[in-house]
Amino acid sequence: MTERIQSIEPRFGYGAAVQERNKVLRNTYWLLALSLVPTVLGAWLGVATGITRSLSGGLGLIVFLGGAFGFMYAIEKTKNSAAGVPVLLGFTFFMGLMLSRMIAMVLGFKNGPDLIMTAFGGTAGVFFVMASLSSVIKRDLSGMGKWLFVGALAIMVGGIINVFVGSTAGMMVISVMAIGVFSAYMLYDLKRIVDGGETNYISATLALYLDIINVFQSLLALLGIMGGERD
């Protein structure tokens, strides 16, 4: 009898762990979907009012970096409290507002709406592929983290430099790199949730949201550079 109980205990523990991982993944997907609503509202407000039009060059960079890192710090501090979700949604509204400048530029093209929908569809496709891979890959991908961080850091430094240089070729290179790095980051972050490495759904949502917004923005920049049609 004792042997049977001992054999059941590990199975019970494993089952509870699987349920907890599924709960985190489910809550992350719901919050991620919800986070897109403030993003769209922020982007719409920015385009409609032109509030971000003057945020170019160094000023825009300071506002973006200050706001983004400030919000991410606040999210980390509140992720285990009732304030965590509202702070995260406030961050996604801010990101939509910051994205509105690029969206307004793309909408200036004759085929602007088509480019935006293509970028959105491409991002959704990348997410679907990475979500599918994360559920079937058995290998531990935790070793990717340090390399992806180095890649993201290189992209950020390159992006800051290009704000002042204004090189179209540089923008294309950075965008291609960002699509590759943040698509891989998407797989890495999803796999962490699936494997139980991330147990807080607010932190998980933040990580995936940053992956998605970077892929979308980079795709949109590439499409605007390569496929934008002037009137």
pLDDT tens digits for 26-67?
A: 999 999 999 999 999 999 999 988 887 777 666 777 888 898
Specify whether the CB–CB gap between 192 and 142 falls below 8 A. yes
- Amino acid sitting at position 129: V
Specify whether the CB–CB gap between 94 and 71 falls below 8 A. yes
Summarize pLDDT for 153-208 with one digit per residue, the tens. Answer: 999 898 888 878 878 888 899 999 999 999 999 999 999 988 888 889 999 999 99
Q: What is the value of pTM for the model shown?
A: 0.88
Task: Map residue 158 onto helix, strand or coil.
Answer: helix
The range of the structural domain enclosing residue 10 comes to 2-227
Which is nearest to 172 in space by CA: 119, 220, 105, 101?
A: 220
Residue 105 half-sphere exposure toward CB, CA atoms < 13 A = 16
Domain total of the chain:
1
